[in-house]
Amino acid sequence: MPKRQFLLGIWMLATGFVTFAALILGALLDPHLAENTDSRILLWSLVALLPILLLLAGVLLERQLFAPLRHLQIQFARLAANPDAKDDFMPEGWLSHLGQDFSRLRDGWRQDREKLTSAREEGAQDAARIRHELEAVLEVLEVPLLLCDKHQRVLMLNPAAKTFF
């Protein structure tokens, strides 16, 4: 999303351009309506109304769309940094209907983290169980046996290997 200052600059530039164009158009049309005062009042009311409508549209967009988008971006950054953070801030403005989706996303992310944590713990428990079973098998073997890793470090040896060396 573009920076707020950039959007504000574009909005102000567009408002200024519309104001200038409306004033020029009003000045060009005013001499043709010199004798009809009702038409002149209507013309200058329209000239004043166009920039005011653009200003109001900009304020509405800022409050209902751009500010909620910035807040949503902050909420996603906060969720990415700490998925267990409180869910105090829900989307607002025209994005308020995204609140349920955001909550489901946060809950799904938390559940996935819990599943990863439990999978890690289960994997560590399985590895420890397999290691104990392997140690039990190696203890009863009468053949000397050394288990080494790829760097030639001794990981495990059985009693027969101890007596052999």
Gap between the Cα atoms of 25 and 12, Å rounded: 20
124-152 average pLDDT score:
87
User: What pLDDT was estimated at residue 1?
Assistant: 57
Asked if pLDDT for residue 88 goes beyond 80, the answer is no
Give the rounded percent of residues in the chain with a pLDDT score beyond 70. Answer: 97
User: What pLDDT was estimated at residue 120?
Assistant: 94
Taking the domains of the chain in order of start, what are their residue ranges?
Answer: 4-81, 89-165
The tokens describing 21, both together, are 């164009």
Bridge partners of residue 148, in order along the sequence:
154
25-36 average pLDDT score:
77
Q: Which residues contact 55 (CB under 8 A, 6 or more apart)?
A: 15
User: What pLDDT was estimated at residue 163?
Assistant: 85
User: What pLDDT was estimated at residue 129?
Assistant: 93
Helices (H), the chain: 4-29, 37-61, 67-81, 99-140, 159-164
Confidence class of residue 37 from pLDDT cuts 50, 70 and 90?
confident
How many CA atoms are closer than 13 Å to the CA of 102, on its beta-carbon side?
Answer: 23
Q: In this structure, what are the phi and psi dihedrals at residue 85, rounded to the nearest 5 degrees? A: -65, 155
Gap between the Cα atoms of 151 and 24, Å rounded: 84
How many CA atoms are closer than 13 Å to the CA of 81, on its beta-carbon side?
Answer: 8
